Structure 1
Amino acid sequence: MVSLSVAGWGWQYAARSTPALSNISFDITPGERVLLLGSSGVGKSTLLRAVAGVLGADEGTQVGEISLDGVSPERARGAVGLVLQDPENQVILERVGDDVAFGCENLGVPAEEIWARVQRALHLVGLNVPLDHSTSKLSGGQKQRLALASVLAMQPELIALDEPTANLDPIGARQLKEALTLVVEDHQPTIVMVEHRVDLWWDFATRVIVLAADGVLWDGAPEDMSPEVRNVLATAGVWLPQTEATARERPAPTGSQPLLHLENLHAAHPGSLHVTTPLDVDVYAGEIVAITGPNGAGKTALALTLGGLYPPRSGQVRAGGSLTGTAHSTKPITWRSRELLSRIGSVFQAPEHQFVAGTVRAELAVGPGALTLSRDEQSARVEKLLDRLHLRDLENAHPFTLSGGQQRRLSVGTVLATQPKVLILDEPTFGQDATTWTEMVALFTELRAEGHAVVIVTHDEKLVQAVADRVIHLGGDA
């Protein structure tokens, strides 16, 4: 059992002119289950990384102290297990069993004990694949389960989780909660969790700590949060149970023109044996289509196929009407990158996979620059997006220093900058607080009203309810 002390702690990234966090102080006693909340970009992930001892000295400057039973996190080997915001960054080895066993081996766990831990951890998180299954063939949600299993197998005294359900379907999110509940009953670790699905975790938490950039905004038991405090936190964009992030009224679709035709389409990741169920669908101008379904059903593969980035496994995707324009073919997979830019824009599940520039401003300008727009038009588009996506204060920051939610907004902005007729968005509300979530919803509804087709892959049930005109549900275990 380990206690955590944070005393006057702050952090400033080397590339930033202002601190990410300052004057953070609290003590967590062994066995507490803490929900760490705050607005998007306030520094929750930075604090978790510091608690786990993985903030590099070359990344920035620290003030104050963090200690685990009086010892710095860097020296408390094995005491903290960290589940990262992006599970891609936590996969190490090629086979699932080896990946889960890796941490145990590093800690010197006896060999005869390791595989029992591996099997139990995989069972707890519901990742029902063979031990020799390739980690590269897992979906984003499955990789999230793998990351948690790798941490659980090490049996740390403190488990730090950074939005562990962000890439999970609703059933998977509930399974993860059940898994953590069992772990708490078995080993009684301390839990510190950043989450936006607070409805799910409110009864699990024994304590809520709300961060602001310059200190702790609120600290107490969930049941002690008064209506007055709730109002203050809601104004700050903090997600709370039953927070209703309002969306604008949905107009009827403005266009009846199909922009994409899906004909007996089966989608799959290259090299994968798992394909989606067949789809015969038209995607129209002036509508928002949500793609839902369990982890592993092939939603991301479908999104990349619709975006002209993956070839169909079978069947076809054809462009219709004005979307084809002067392109040499009606098949998006054959289009050159410049032809795609103003026709179909794709936002990837992992936002950092599409960043190529050294600052937020430069990143937003990449697409307009490739379209050879005038400097005035390029600048106008960038300025509008900086303000609309709450990135103005970060315009000179490197994209890789942004929080997960900020990176997500930037990735959406890079696509909007080229004003494509069709937008394919994979989990676009990941990491957003209540304020920026509402702004995203308003943005999508405006795009629909302007005649764009918007296709959204999501596990965000609130988003589906707020904006979707149609829902395509993928089933199975593809």
Structure 2
Amino acid sequence: MGSRTAGGPGARVELSGWGWRHSGRRAHALRGVDLTVEPGERVLLLGASGAGKSTLLHSLAGLTGADSAISGDQEGTLLVDGEPADRRRGVVGLVSQDPETQLVMARAGDDVAFGLENLGAAPDRIWPRVDGALAEVGFPYGRRHSTGALSGGEKQRLVIAGALAMRPRLLLLDEPTANLDPAGAALVRGVLQRLLAETEATLVLVEHRVADVVDLVDRVVVLEPGGGVIADGAPQTVFAEHGRALADQGVWIPGNEPEPDLSPAPGGTTLLEAVGVAARTPVELGARSAPPRTVLAGVGLAVEAGTATALTGPNGAGKSTLLMLLAGLSKPYRGAVHPRGPLAEVDRRPLRRWPARRLARHVGTVFQHAEDQFVTPTVREELLFAPLRAGMDRGAADAWVDELLERLRLTRLADVHPYTLSGGEKRRLSVATALSSGPAHAPDVLTLDEPTFGQDTRTWTELVELLGALRAEGRAVVMATHDELLLRHLTDTRVRVADGGVAPVDAVAADPEGGTA
């Protein structure tokens, strides 16, 4: 990626008695944080979901404060190279949980160049850096490719390329590989290893799957929700001295994987069937726009009651596209998704032609971007919306919502706006809304895009057990996921999406998603 940055090696980070409370919240996200990160150190931030890890990264990037993007109340001091973080933005590169929020340009190359241009990089150095960063992260398209036509994982690669191209002295990464397929995640970790060795940049990393990144870091810092640092030291020391306690709090500790309690899959009749389904990318506007390309061609897939089907495969292969087609929310270019069995008795027309209310009653959807499905101003109202609309008694609805809030650790957030939640909290809420009609009124089919993203071990287990209970009751669960642990515990049919088609994994000699058939 090039030579050492002109400003020297890594930046120094210092927090003293630091705390932050988001606007509209009573409780602090973090408080009493005392932490120093020396230049060139590589720090892994750990803590339960909602512990304030993303908040700390955003603050280090200079995004919090009275005149910044995120408003709230700050106490204590937070300094980067001896100055407030909002004055040191030029030395910081941030990759946030949601890549959608960081894309600012219509074309891929322009988006990567944006940060360099704002830093005043010489024009003759910008494009070589852009091309080098795109190649390093394995971005599969050219500079002119539309950012709006990218999958979630492809957007993640692009955002990482933009951060790396800037050669930051402080690199802040929030779940940087969460949306990537296993091969892409391994590629990015290799790129980070080389970049950090070459530049000696300071790294602060948030990653739930600790085993994948422990070789990247030399220090682990654990945060307490609403508090400060509760453990700090070399990875082996922290895990040896605090591993059991941290695991009990939901922190992902190597060798302490959760074991959900699941009933066997009962199986059942076919509920949905994709027949000859084809999909293409949207038509782009502009003289330099690329023509539509085929994402899926001639896909056939049956979804059975009482089973969990997982869609796996490389980024950009069409997993999310297929999921939206199966949910009846996208129109196929060719072919159709037909209701079968009990669903055909409800309406024999292709799913795409069902009225919205009927579709929502029988097919629930959890989108890749959680915000796309939030429609009310508080978490509690979000969960009450579907059951009350379906005619559930208010007392029964309140009782079920209270249970969901408790099981998914959202009770303390019941009265806050969904948009102010952390990434993991938003994901739990989005899954909970799909389950909020209650077990007796749950949709016949539930389609979910990366349902376990950003979870600690406790909330991961609760989500998986809730989905497992629906499967046991005869509902069909369809998931697009890269979560190997989810694939291991809650998958009856594993389908690889690649090269425009689908294939059962047991018909594939070696599955790129991680493992052999």
> Residues of 1 paired with 2:156 and 2:174: CA distance?
11
> Residues of 1 paired with 2:156 and 2:252: CA distance?
22
> Residues of 2 paired with 1:321 and 1:153: CA distance?
53
> Residues of 2 paired with 1:270 and 1:337: CA distance?
22
Q: TM-score, normalised by structure 2?
A: 0.89
Contact kept in structure 2, 1:347 and 1:426, CA below 8 Å: yes
Specify the code of the residue in structure 1 equivalent to 2:77: E
In the alignment, structure 1 residue 131 sits paired with structure 2 residue 143: yes
In the alignment, structure 1 residue 192 sits paired with structure 2 residue 204: yes
Q: Which runs of 5+ in 2 are unaligned?
A: 1-9, 284-291, 502-517
1:384-395 to structure 2, matched below 5 A, reads 384-395=403-414
Contact kept in structure 2, 1:269 and 1:310, CA below 8 Å: no
2:246 equivalent among 210, 214, 233: 233
Change (3 A) 1:107 1:427: same
1:271-290 to structure 2, matched below 5 A, reads 271=283, 272-290=292-310
> Residues of 2 paired with 1:121 and 1:228: CA distance?
39
> Residues of 1 paired with 2:388 and 2:37: CA distance?
50
Contact kept in structure 2, 1:268 and 1:298, CA below 8 Å: no
Specify the code of the residue in structure 2 equivalent to 1:46: T
> Residues of 2 paired with 1:269 and 1:129: CA distance?
14
Specify the code of the residue in structure 2 equivalent to 1:431: G
Contact kept in structure 2, 1:359 and 1:399, CA below 8 Å: yes
**Per-residue deviation, residues 172-201 of structure 1 (Å, max 9, x unmatched):** 100000111121122111110100121111
In the alignment, structure 1 residue 55 sits paired with structure 2 residue 78: no
> Residues of 1 paired with 2:407 and 2:280: CA distance?
34
> Residues of 1 paired with 2:239 and 2:346: CA distance?
60
Deviation of the 1:277 alpha carbon: 4.8
1:25-424 to structure 2, matched below 5 A, reads 25-57=34-66, 59-213=71-225, 214-251=227-264, 253-271=265-283, 272-327=292-347, 329-418=348-437, 419-424=442-447
**Per-residue deviation, residues 292-316 of structure 1 (Å, max 9, x unmatched):** 0000000000011111100122222
In the alignment, structure 1 residue 5 sits paired with structure 2 residue 18: no
SS at match of 2:330: coil
Specify the code of the residue in structure 1 equivalent to 2:401: V
SS at match of 2:113: helix
Deviation of the 1:477 alpha carbon: 7.3
Higher mean displacement: 14-23 or 426-435 = 14-23
Contact kept in structure 2, 1:50 and 1:73, CA below 8 Å: yes
> Residues of 1 paired with 2:267 and 2:127: CA distance?
57
Contact kept in structure 1, 2:276 and 2:297, CA below 8 Å: no
In the alignment, structure 1 residue 16 sits paired with structure 2 residue 25: yes
Contact kept in structure 2, 1:42 and 1:211, CA below 8 Å: yes
Contact kept in structure 2, 1:290 and 1:458, CA below 8 Å: yes
Change (3 A) 1:381 1:335: farther
Contact kept in structure 2, 1:250 and 1:467, CA below 8 Å: no
**Per-residue deviation, residues 341-362 of structure 1 (Å, max 9, x unmatched):** 2100110011011111100001
Deviation of the 1:326 alpha carbon: 3.5
Change (3 A) 1:302 1:226: closer
Deviation of the 1:268 alpha carbon: 4.2
Higher mean displacement: 184-193 or 99-108 = 184-193
Higher mean displacement: 270-279 or 214-223 = 270-279
2:469 equivalent among 434, 446, 454: 446
SS at match of 1:278: strand
Contact kept in structure 1, 2:11 and 2:169, CA below 8 Å: yes
Q: Which runs of 5+ in 1 are unaligned?
A: none
Specify the code of the residue in structure 2 equivalent to 1:233: L
Specify the code of the residue in structure 2 equivalent to 1:434: T
Number of paired residues?
Answer: 476
Contact kept in structure 2, 1:338 and 1:370, CA below 8 Å: no
Deviation of the 1:2 alpha carbon: 1.2
Higher mean displacement: 175-184 or 365-374 = 365-374
**Per-residue deviation, residues 328-353 of structure 1 (Å, max 9, x unmatched):** x4311111211112100110011011
Specify the code of the residue in structure 1 equivalent to 2:260: A
Specify the code of the residue in structure 2 equivalent to 1:421: D
1:459-478 to structure 2, matched below 5 A, reads 459-476=482-499
Deviation of the 1:372 alpha carbon: 3.6
SS at match of 2:399: helix
> Residues of 2 paired with 1:323 and 1:477: CA distance?
27
Specify the code of the residue in structure 2 equivalent to 1:465: R
Contact kept in structure 2, 1:269 and 1:301, CA below 8 Å: no
**Per-residue deviation, residues 420-473 of structure 1 (Å, max 9, x unmatched):** 110000000000001111111111111111111000110001100011011011
SS at match of 2:443: coil
> Residues of 2 paired with 1:225 and 1:362: CA distance?
40
> Residues of 2 paired with 1:362 and 1:476: CA distance?
42
> Residues of 2 paired with 1:51 and 1:282: CA distance?
48
Contact kept in structure 1, 2:34 and 2:228, CA below 8 Å: yes
Deviation of the 1:273 alpha carbon: 1.2
Q: What is the aligned-residue identity percentage?
A: 46
Deviation of the 1:123 alpha carbon: 1.2
> Residues of 2 paired with 1:75 and 1:438: CA distance?
41
Deviation of the 1:238 alpha carbon: 0.4
> Residues of 1 paired with 2:209 and 2:486: CA distance?
13
Q: TM-score, normalised by structure 1?
A: 0.96
Runs of 4+ in 1 over 4 A off after TM superposition: none
SS at match of 1:349: coil
Deviation of the 1:245 alpha carbon: 1.0
Contact kept in structure 2, 1:368 and 1:417, CA below 8 Å: yes
Specify the code of the residue in structure 2 equivalent to 1:21: L
